[in-house]
Structure 1
Amino acid sequence: MTIRILPAVADPEAARAVAALTGRLPEAEPAAPAADSTTLLDTLGRLAAQGVDHLPEVVVVHQAIGPLPALELVREVALRHPAVGVVLLTADQGPAAYSAAMDAGARGVAGLPLSQAELDHRVRAAAAWATGVRRHLGAGDGATAGPGGTVVTVSGAKGGVGATTAAVQLALAARAAGHPTALADMDLQTGDVASYLDVRFRRSIADLAGIADLSPRVLDDAMFRHDSGLALLLCPAEGEQGETVTDRAARQIVTALRARYDTVVIDCGSQLTGAGAVAVEMADTALLVTTPDVVAVRAAKRTVRLWDRLRIRKPQETVTVVNRHTRHTEIQPALIERITGTRVARTAVPAGYKELQPCADSGRMHELDPRGAVRQALWSLAAETGLVPTDPR
């Protein structure tokens, strides 16, 4: 049996050593190492889209991988691609480190410096496990790559461009299509989801920040059940509490939401925080909302460049949504696409203050007129984004 191996090693010297050892394994077919966690997850995502049988049997994660810590990366791979066996390479071979790796979802731990015999044993065991899982899933019959819902983030190029309105309507469209849907407010200091949906709440995302193991029951206790059918995870009423939602906490929360709901829409606001950056990095689709004016488009360009520099999201993997669009606007979507280097959504959202204002003021955004141009455009965007199979208008 051929064992396809995808290493994830950041250090060039360590990558050469891992490549040399995996290349000597009998029946092994090692791929070029992924230099960081983002590249690894992107590669696995592309392969999974072609079918589970295109995925490698084994992923080897080096302890010094970044920017995502090794154990977090192991957890992400195990959750998104359960038919892939993960082997962690670490110099810490104590029982606590081994237990942590197993809890994260690793199928084996190999000590550093590596030995050929140990690597061979761990890789073969992980490959055998992956093969068994695929046989159980029936990969040849078109089984998917694994559990987990779709995560879409909505960020604003600047404040006031309509990101929250877009996030709310996208979530409502997904829910109307019959998908269990969560709407999370990760604009931690100034989020408006609760105001837009007239919600009075006690629990918030901050209540999940200090919990190491987010079980479905713990997550459900923090969610607000809205009359529209949406499950809401709201930002804290006191903005300073948002500081408790660290990068690590955000990653655990997004992972838990993905596992619990078919569709997860996250409002990230316009200010980049560690939690928001994690959400954008983890998202299947990252939307950036802008208006067709010079100030907002410049802000969108800065945001895209910032995400790229911080290795959060590549420009070509970001979808820009043009809000308050008119045919008479000097800055049209094609120009915004060239300026930002992103893909601009085919669906442009028209200006509609008269349509939006009464619902926004009353906190009844879920009652937006289905015949209105804004609501129709945003639900069409949901179809374009893949949140619903067809436009549910």
Structure 2
Amino acid sequence: MSTRILPAVAHPDAARALTTLLGQLPDVEPAAPVGDSTALLDTLARLAAESVDALPEVVLVHERIGPVPALELVRETTLRFPTVAVVLISSEPGPGLFSAAMDAGARGLAALPLSYEELAQRVQAAAAWSVGVRRHLGQGLELYGGPGGRVVTVSGAKGGVGTTVAAVQLALAACASGMSTALVDLDLQSGDVASYLDVQFRRSVVDLAAIQDISPSVLQDAVFLHHTGLGLLLAPAEGERGEEINDRSVRQIVSALRSRYEVVVVDCGTQMNSANAAAIEMADTTLLLTTPDVVSVRAAKRLVRLWERLQIRKAAETVAVINRHVRTSEIQPPLVERITGTKVSRTVVPAHFKELQGAVDAGRMQDLDAKSTVRQALWGLAGELGIVRAQAGEETGRGGRFRGDRGAAGASRRSRQKP
């Protein structure tokens, strides 16, 4: 029986060298290398959807894979696909890294530059373990289903552009359409999700910061189940405790939520730190809210350029959303797209704050009138992003009738028409 191997290597030269060496091993079927962490997880998820037996026995993870760091990728791979043996390849295979790799779930550690003998030994041992596990577990194994949930981050170009309102309404739209949905408040110093949804809950995202492996029961204890059906992971009540959250803990938290929910909406606020940077890096979709004024659009451009310099997210992979849009404004979507280099959503959110004021003052955004053009636009944006079920336009959600994106699209078109 041949051993199927899937290499995850970012650098083309390293990928070619590894593929050449794998081709020399006996009874091995190396697949084409994948170039980043997202491609690896998506490939494994697609194979797992067919059957456990379709998964490769061995995955080789190069130390310079990205955007998710190698050890975190090892951890997520072994968590979601426990019959796959992962071998980490590193140029510094010391005792400390060996211990960390084993803690993350790796079945071996190979040193760079790779030698035929060492690679053959590591692959053979890992493959034997994988085959043994599959034989032992048989058909009783349950994997984390599918490619995991969709992660959508919502950031603001500057304060006061409506980031939290947008995040809350997107999450409510997904939940109302029948998607299991979590809303995470990563605005760690001044998060207001709890205030917008009339929630008092003593646990927060900080309670998960120091936990090495977040089990479903641990996650359940930290997530507040809102009466709308939303799972809420809130910011700490004491803003200074936000410093306890770092990029590593965020990667674990988002991975755990992604494995339990179909949609994960993350409110990243307007301040950049390592925690929300990690969430933005992991996201399937990154939204950047701006208002149609010079100050806000310039702030959006600065933030996008910062993300690019730090290699967090490319401008072309960011979706700008225009909030408080008015048809008479000199700043229209094409101009925002040209200035920031982002893609601008087809849906714009009209400038009708009076519709929101009652729900905001009462702290009950879930009760926002279904006829509100702001709500219709944001729920329409959820449809544009693909985080609602396709048939949601005909369904009734917990928070009121889900109107799909037709009403919102109409409101969007009307607000963008020229006078």
Q: TM-score range by the shorter chain?
A: 0.7 to 0.9
- After alignment, is 47-56 or 82-91 more displaced? 47-56
Specify whether residues 99 and 300 from structure 1 end up closer, same or farther in structure 2 by C-alpha distance, changes over 3 A only.
same
Assess if the C-alpha contact under 8 Å between 1:323 and 1:351 holds in 2: yes
What pairs up with 1:325-364 in 2 under 5 angstroms?
Answer: 325-364=325-364
1:24 aligns with 2:24: yes
CA distance, structure 2, for counterparts of residue 319 and residue 51 of structure 1: 29
User: Residue 87 of structure 1 corresponds to which residue in structure 2?
Assistant: 87
- After alignment, is 313-322 or 15-24 more displaced? 15-24
Aligned partner of residue 349 in structure 1, secondary structure = coil
Assess if the C-alpha contact under 8 Å between 1:81 and 1:146 holds in 2: no
Deviation at 1:148, TM superposition (A): 2.3
User: Residue 157 of structure 1 corresponds to which residue in structure 2?
Assistant: 157
Assess if the C-alpha contact under 8 Å between 2:182 and 2:263 holds in 1: yes
User: Residue 292 of structure 2 corresponds to which residue in structure 1?
Assistant: 292
CA distance, structure 2, for counterparts of residue 79 and residue 387 of structure 1: 24
Deviation at 1:297, TM superposition (A): 1.1
CA distance, structure 2, for counterparts of residue 162 and residue 253 of structure 1: 25
What TM-score comes out, normalization by structure 1 length?
Answer: 0.85
User: Residue 231 of structure 2 corresponds to which residue in structure 1?
Assistant: 231
- After alignment, is 59-68 or 345-354 more displaced? 59-68
Specify whether residues 350 and 55 from structure 1 end up closer, same or farther in structure 2 by C-alpha distance, changes over 3 A only.
farther
1:14-70: CA deviations, max 9, x gaps? 667535423433554464674xxxxx1243366579766899775422345566442
The number of equivalent residue pairs is: 382
Specify whether residues 195 and 355 from structure 1 end up closer, same or farther in structure 2 by C-alpha distance, changes over 3 A only.
same
CA distance, structure 2, for counterparts of residue 147 and residue 67 of structure 1: 17
User: Residue 9 of structure 2 corresponds to which residue in structure 1?
Assistant: 8
Deviation at 1:146, TM superposition (A): 3.6
What pairs up with 1:161-240 in 2 under 5 angstroms?
Answer: 161-240=161-240
- After alignment, is 84-93 or 271-280 more displaced? 84-93
CA distance, structure 1, for counterparts of residue 86 and residue 251 of structure 2: 19
**Counterpart amino acid of residue 251 in structure 1:** R
Assess if the C-alpha contact under 8 Å between 2:15 and 2:33 holds in 1: no
User: Residue 41 of structure 1 corresponds to which residue in structure 2?
Assistant: 37
Specify whether residues 144 and 318 from structure 1 end up closer, same or farther in structure 2 by C-alpha distance, changes over 3 A only.
farther
1:226-285: CA deviations, max 9, x gaps? 222211111111111100001111111111111222221110001111110011111111
**Counterpart amino acid of residue 266 in structure 2:** I
* Residue segments in structure 2 that go unaligned for 5+ positions in a row: 394-401, 404-419
What pairs up with 1:261-272 in 2 under 5 angstroms?
Answer: 261-272=261-272
CA distance, structure 2, for counterparts of residue 245 and residue 177 of structure 1: 32
1:184-206: CA deviations, max 9, x gaps? 10000111111111222211111
Specify whether residues 108 and 187 from structure 1 end up closer, same or farther in structure 2 by C-alpha distance, changes over 3 A only.
same
CA distance, structure 2, for counterparts of residue 208 and residue 178 of structure 1: 27
Aligned partner of residue 201 in structure 1, secondary structure = coil
User: Residue 304 of structure 1 corresponds to which residue in structure 2?
Assistant: 304
CA distance, structure 1, for counterparts of residue 313 and residue 10 of structure 2: 20
What pairs up with 1:44-193 in 2 under 5 angstroms?
Answer: 44=40, 47=43, 58-63=58-63, 65=65, 68-79=68-79, 85-90=85-90, 91-92=92-93, 94=95, 100-123=100-123, 129=130, 146=146, 148-193=148-193
User: Residue 140 of structure 1 corresponds to which residue in structure 2?
Assistant: none
- After alignment, is 189-198 or 103-112 more displaced? 103-112
**Counterpart amino acid of residue 39 in structure 2:** T
CA distance, structure 1, for counterparts of residue 200 and residue 6 of structure 2: 50
Assess if the C-alpha contact under 8 Å between 2:34 and 2:40 holds in 1: no
CA distance, structure 1, for counterparts of residue 84 and residue 318 of structure 2: 27
CA distance, structure 2, for counterparts of residue 121 and residue 279 of structure 1: 37
1:252 aligns with 2:252: yes
Aligned partner of residue 21 in structure 1, secondary structure = helix
**Counterpart amino acid of residue 272 in structure 1:** M
Specify whether residues 158 and 115 from structure 1 end up closer, same or farther in structure 2 by C-alpha distance, changes over 3 A only.
same
**Counterpart amino acid of residue 281 in structure 1:** E
Aligned partner of residue 183 in structure 2, secondary structure = strand
Specify whether residues 51 and 314 from structure 1 end up closer, same or farther in structure 2 by C-alpha distance, changes over 3 A only.
farther
Assess if the C-alpha contact under 8 Å between 1:88 and 1:110 holds in 2: yes
CA distance, structure 2, for counterparts of residue 282 and residue 359 of structure 1: 32
* Cα RMSD (Å): 3.3
Specify whether residues 364 and 33 from structure 1 end up closer, same or farther in structure 2 by C-alpha distance, changes over 3 A only.
closer
- After alignment, is 57-66 or 308-317 more displaced? 57-66
